[in-house]
A and B are shown apart, each in its own frame.
Chain A
Amino acid sequence: MEKDENISPQEKIGHLFRELSGKMTAALSHFFGLQHLEFVEDVVQETFYAALKTWPTHFPANPQAWLFKVAKNKAINLIKRNHHIRDHLIKKYWNLHHENDLFSIMDGAFDEGIIHDNQFRLLIAGSHATVNSRNQIIFILKTLGGFGTSEIANALIMNTEAVAKNYQRTVKALKEKGIGLEDVSVRETRAKLDLVHKVIYLLFNEGYKASSGPHLLKEELCFEAIRLAKILLQAHCFNPATNALLSLMYFNLARFQGRVGQMGELILLKDQDRKLWDKQLIGIGFQYFSESMTGENLTSFHIEAAIASLHCISSDYKSTDWSKLLFYHDKLVALNPSPVTHLNRIVVLKMIKGPGFALKQLLENEHLQTPKKNYLYFAVKGQLLEEQHMFSDAVADYEAALSLAENQSEKRFLSQRLEQCKINAQAGNK
């Protein structure tokens, strides 16, 4: 034990186990094959257990090297004990002459560069194993993120059994589809990157959504999404969209503190205390943003990052460059014409042309309620009506929005507006 250092052991280790869990899982999944994920998990758990038994009185000089060495030894023991797995590996690495060859192959799998590639491959494999985005997120959090089942359940507001079941389902699908890590070529995956970006952004938004889950854990999901996006960049896979996604996530993360009040209530952009926004994170956002300005493809991440950057640099709500924002929102709608992009554009339109004009546009686009009724349509409509003092009309829309909203903070916000409109409507009638 090193006694003369002032930092505590916890500080020395940071988030080491989570990160190394992902690295060891990538290395071992590559070595054993994805169909043997349960062995991989056993080895990783046994490795941490060994650390628990040893570190309190013998803290290693290089914790990562120590854990990797133990993991390799545990894997070797497993091969020696289990004929089935040994036969499988001999078949997989068909040119084996001796057991020792197996061990040098394993050494190779723990090479830092190879680990990066395999983390990347695992990310691709996980995104393609299932079409269910929840399940993609669960698989990635568990394997690459080193999150436990109960942590995932808490963060995604699900029950633990459901998370475990969904994870097993994805593992089974990987087996059945025979997706192996070696099938994922790092060079040929550019086309598959779109889906991975989407999954990472979904993961980020799971963390970013202000809802009833534990705040800290939510923030960790956001950081995990950022870490995974950085893995994409590191896997020699330079892609402007990845940079755009990273800059968007940093711009949003920078505003994390300002957007939720002390009681967990949602604070609208116009009411946020911008002093709480993290300048340093905004700066990092701009670095990635400038890196994203290459190539020919303008992705929705680029436009969303541009929108977020405008908010980040405006000193207050009023002085925001709304006409520039409208320009970006027009582009976003053209690129991705969904009800959500349309509705967000209408909110910006309101800032320039007033609530009356925006409401007219909204009513001309009744289809924005479809395909399934979304709360945002009614929330926006309610707001536009409220701002024109048509309180009793607004009540009906806020009620509709409230019945469709799922997120706790949004519900709380909508019921506040609803109550206020009811009061105002009554006052107007008298």
Chain B
Amino acid sequence: MKNFMLLLREEIEETQKLPPQEFQELVAAHMNWVQELTEKGIFKGGEGLEYEGKTIKNATRVVSDGPFIETKECVGGYYIIQAADIDAAVEIAKNCPCIKYPGSIEVRAVSVY
């Protein structure tokens, strides 16, 4: 078993427009999902990220506002799960509640050697 990080990218303006009931259903769906994975013993952690932040360009050391430079999508949070291989991790990620909303999920194996 390996650990995988799911980077959840969302279109923040779309998410923030959700009416209260739908917001709540989305929150509850995430909670359910985490609970489910926890019960299976394959949930290893995760956090949501606030949408305000700074980005530092390495070579120029220019600091700009916002984590999102050109794209509408930005990383809204991450989960770390355990799976046999990348394909299994992708299958799990496909059930993440945020899949129903605009955005994407990046699945990356946590490097261990």
Residues of A in contact with B (beta carbons under 8 Å apart): 1, 3, 8-10, 13, 15-18, 20-21, 44-46, 48-57, 59, 146-151
Assembled-state Cα–Cα distance A48/B30 (Å): 14
Asked if B110 is at the interface of the complex by the 8 Å CB criterion, the answer is no
The DSSP consensus for interface residues of chain A is helix
Chain A residues whose CB sits within 8 angstroms of the CB of B34 once the complex forms: 1, 56-57
Residues of B in contact with A (beta carbons under 8 Å apart): 15-35, 38-39, 45-51, 76-77
Q: Is the CB of B77 within 8 A of A8?
A: no
The chain B residue sitting closest to A146, CB to CB, is B20
Given contacts A53-B48, A150-B19, contact A10 B32 (CB under 8 A): yes
The chain A residue sitting closest to B43, CB to CB, is A57
Q: Is the CB of A56 within 8 A of B27?
A: yes
Q: Is the CB of B46 within 8 A of A56?
A: yes
Counting chain A CB atoms within 10 Å of each CB, the highest count among B27, B30, B45, B76 belongs to B27
The chain A residue sitting closest to B26, CB to CB, is A52
Q: Is the CB of A21 within 8 A of B15?
A: no
Q: Is the CB of B76 within 8 A of A18?
A: no
Chain B residues whose CB sits within 8 angstroms of the CB of A18 once the complex forms: 20-21, 24
Chain A residues whose CB sits within 8 angstroms of the CB of B33 once the complex forms: 56
Q: Is the CB of A1 within 8 A of B35?
A: yes
Chain A residues whose CB sits within 8 angstroms of the CB of B47 once the complex forms: 53, 57
Question: Contact check: which of B25, B26, B35, B45 meets A3 at CB < 8 Å?
Answer: B35
Given A15-B24, A55-B30, A56-B48, 17 other A-B contacts at CB below 8 A?
A1-B35, A1-B38, A3-B35, A9-B35, A13-B27, A13-B28, A17-B23, A18-B21, A45-B17, A49-B23, A49-B51, A51-B27, A53-B47, A55-B31, A57-B46, A57-B47, A151-B19
Assembled-state Cα–Cα distance A54/B39 (Å): 19
User: Could you name 15 residue pairs across A and B whose Cβ atoms are closer than 8 Å?
Assistant: A1-B34, A3-B39, A9-B27, A13-B27, A13-B28, A17-B23, A17-B27, A48-B20, A49-B16, A49-B51, A51-B27, A55-B27, A56-B27, A56-B31, A57-B46
Chain A residues whose CB sits within 8 angstroms of the CB of B25 once the complex forms: 10
Chain A residues whose CB sits within 8 angstroms of the CB of B22 once the complex forms: 148
Chain A residues whose CB sits within 8 angstroms of the CB of B23 once the complex forms: 17, 48-49, 51-52
Chain A residues whose CB sits within 8 angstroms of the CB of B49 once the complex forms: 53
Assembled-state Cα–Cα distance A425/B48 (Å): 70
